[in-house]
Amino acid sequence: MFTQTASKIKCFSGSLAAVIIMSVSTSALAQDFKREGNVVTYNGNKIILSASERDTIVVVDPITNEEIMQVRVKGPRPLLINGKKIYEFEYVTSMPSRKDNKFSLEEQLITNLAKFFNSFPDATYRVYASSFVIDDQGKVVYFEYSHLSARDDKGKDLPLSDLQKQATGKEIAGNCRLVNMNPAKLNGKPVAVLSDLYLHDYKFTVRNHVTEYVKANN
């Protein structure tokens, strides 16, 4: 598990920042995949997704103390990769681990996103990416990136360009390709696993092209 909670990185020059953002084609997608029904093809791999699930919960209104029934819809999750089962992290004997001196998935993404955000305007950013699948070779073969958010010091939402959003997705994809870990195991056998990493758990705060990151509770 990645335990470091804060990091300051030296700033980029303004000219380099412009290159990073503007070099992304407007037609480039952060995650270049094709989906037909519940089958996704990504980087040559075929991932089978589950159907969306409805879950009914009961919550208590804090003011009236009345019970209210709510319906939550859970999105599809990866089930199979190239015909092999993708295990949820609760059901494997051991999770993927660092190989030699290489970064884990979490370390690779958080460290390099902090450097990447040095090129962004001052704000607090959150990256909504999850469903990282690590195959039985220890490679990241799939993830889902939905959006990027930014807020100012007063908590006001700030607008973001499509180029900034796409560049962030491409940064995640590029770092995922660099990850090489010991795979998860089930009773000693390497298996594919759905990671418990949720990038939106982290806040990246940029001030004068220096980024600090912290794992947040909300």
Element (DSSP H or E) covering residue 20: helix 14-22
Q: What angle do CA 173, 2, 189 make, to 5 degrees?
A: 75
Helices 162-178, 105-117: inter-axial angle, 10-degree rounding: 150
Q: Which residue, chain included where needed, has tokens 């190989």?
A: 99
CA 39, CA 36: separation in Å to the nearest integer? 5
* pLDDT, tens digit, 9 for 90 and up, residues 115-165: 999 999 999 999 999 999 999 999 999 999 989 999 999 999 999 999 999
Per-residue pLDDT of the chain (218 residues; tens, 9 = 90+): 444 434 343 334 333 333 333 333 322 334 467 888 899 998 889 999 998 766 666 777 777 778 777 665 566 889 999 999 999 999 999 999 988 878 899 999 999 999 999 999 999 999 999 999 999 999 999 999 989 999 999 999 999 999 999 999 999 999 999 999 999 999 999 999 999 999 999 999 999 999 999 998 76
